[in-house]
Amino acid sequence: MDRRTFLLAGASSTLFTIQWRETLAAGLASGTVETQALETLSGKVPLIRKSYRPPNYETPVDLFDSTITPNDRFFIRWHLSQIPEVDPVTWRLRVGGPAASNAAEYSLEDLKKSFAQVELVAVNQCSGNRRGLSDPHVPGVEWGYGAMGNARWKGVRLRDVLAKAGLKKEAVEIAFDGADHGVTDATPDFHKSLPVWKAQDENTLIVWEMNGAALPHLNGAPARLIVPGWTGTYWMKKLVSVEALDKPLSTFWMNTAYRVPKGKFAFADRFLTQENDASTPITEMVVNSLITNIKDGERIAAGRDVEVRGMAWDGGYGIADVAVSTDGGRTWNAATLGEDLGRFSFRPWRYSFRPAAGSYVVMARATNRQGATQVNDLIFNPPGYHNNVMQRLALTVA
């Protein structure tokens, strides 16, 4: 069966694997392509395994065909390999710290009873999504396009919990810890902080529900933080502690990791208490898009309409427009935006054209309401963050 016949016939699972290896090879290191594989974890559809332990699995591109990413398709990302299954009945959240007046402990029921419940849709994207496409390659989890997902989250506002804790005027950061940890005490615990203003944002939530169901174990059950607009590093999974600090948090995960060279990226949101002369913590996501229904190198029959579709998202300003090019960026056409589930959500888009026989290079370019758009060339940085290079997908019409 040749490739074209395969495409016309639709994806059987074995052929899908072959096709998938071939198409994902573009841009990833050869060792990455040879090592990764589709694997089915409990409660998940087959995801692309990047590492067994800690478990890191990404969502295949063609599974981003709905605005909401179902829980069983949602990517998995952990730094440390000890990830306890936490009983939601005995789970407790400790709230306190040197800059809080009233320390407290909450069960899940306490949180639900004590505070207003909120739902919102937001993209959760790993800071290093697309790291594996860096040119030159950089070390780390060699993510392709799928270290992200968009879910409807339900929980309570962190700022309500902090108000009850009584923040002192000395409070500079709010710190978060999860139940996960390393194999030895020598491994720095995954411990993160937010500036007080971001912790008090009305959209920063402690959630227990994702798309109408309890959070899956590997997505942070029984409760996690969500920080809409900001990259996943702040979205602490299996949250067990919230602490108001009177000085900046000093941990490997704040001072060394998850930082970008200062001045490389233009952001509205800055995390000033953690900045130094050389670097600054990663904050909001850059505007980006993903073409979800066309594979690089695909061949299609001439004489019929071709739809190009996908998702666009940004750091919470909202998508203003998406343009599609079929000639490698020489000319651009407006795509039609789909359902609007809020400024933190994926925004679906589509564009149709009827191509004559020939070769095409399909690209998409999202622009947000701040006027920020995607880049043609990678803004290289050693950790491989913020890759919003426009895709260039070859399409042959014959």
Partner 1 sequence: MKPRFVLAAVCAVCAFAAAADEGSIQLKPGPGRDAVQGYCVMCHSLDYIPSNSPFMNRQTWEAEVQKMIKAYGAQVPPDQVPKIVDYLATNYGKP
Residues that bind partner 1 (CB under 8 A): 29-32, 34-36, 39, 41, 49-55, 81-82, 84, 136-137, 139-142, 177-189, 240-241, 252, 256
Q: How far apart are CB 178 and partner 1 at their closest, in Å?
A: 7
Listing DSSP states for 281-333 in one string gives E--BPPPEEEE-S--TTEEE-SSS-EEEEEEEE-SSS-EEEEEEESBTTSS-E
Q: How far apart are CB 103 and partner 1 at their closest, in Å?
A: 17
Q: Among residues 178 and 228, whose Cβ is nearest to partner 1? A: 178
Q: How far apart are CB 121 and partner 1 at their closest, in Å?
A: 30
Q: How far apart are CB 83 and partner 1 at their closest, in Å?
A: 8
For residue 344, CA distances in Å to 122, 152, 290 come to: 5, 10, 16
Residue 4 DSSP code: H
Q: How far apart are CB 21 and partner 1 at their closest, in Å?
A: 14
Q: Among residues 49 and 159, whose Cβ is nearest to partner 1? A: 49
Q: How far apart are CB 236 and partner 1 at their closest, in Å?
A: 11
Tokens of 254: 């704040």
Q: Among residues 135 and 307, whose Cβ is nearest to partner 1? A: 135
Bridge partners, 177 (sequence order): 191, 241
Closest to 243 in 3D by CA, of 311, 168, 186: 168
Tallying the residues shown for the chain, one arrives at 398
Between CA 321 and CA 333 the distance in angstroms is 11
Q: Among residues 188 and 261, whose Cβ is nearest to partner 1? A: 188
Q: Among residues 65 and 189, whose Cβ is nearest to partner 1? A: 189
Element (H, E) at 121: strand 117-125
Instruction: Write down the residue that tokens 């599974």 correspond to.
Output: 63
Q: Among residues 39 and 340, whose Cβ is nearest to partner 1? A: 39
Q: Among residues 252 and 353, whose Cβ is nearest to partner 1? A: 252
Residue 181 DSSP code: B
Q: How far apart are CB 157 and partner 1 at their closest, in Å?
A: 24
Cβ atoms of 158 and 111 within 8 Å: the answer is no
Between CA 296 and CA 328 the distance in angstroms is 13
Q: How far apart are CB 128 and partner 1 at their closest, in Å?
A: 13
One-letter identity of residue 310:
G
Cβ atoms of 387 and 147 within 8 Å: the answer is no
Q: Among residues 5 and 30, whose Cβ is nearest to partner 1? A: 30
Question: Does residue 54 have a cis bond before it (omega within 30 degrees)?
Answer: yes
Order of strands, sheet of 336-337, starting from the edge strand that comes earlier in the sequence: 288-291, 306-313, 347-353, 336-337
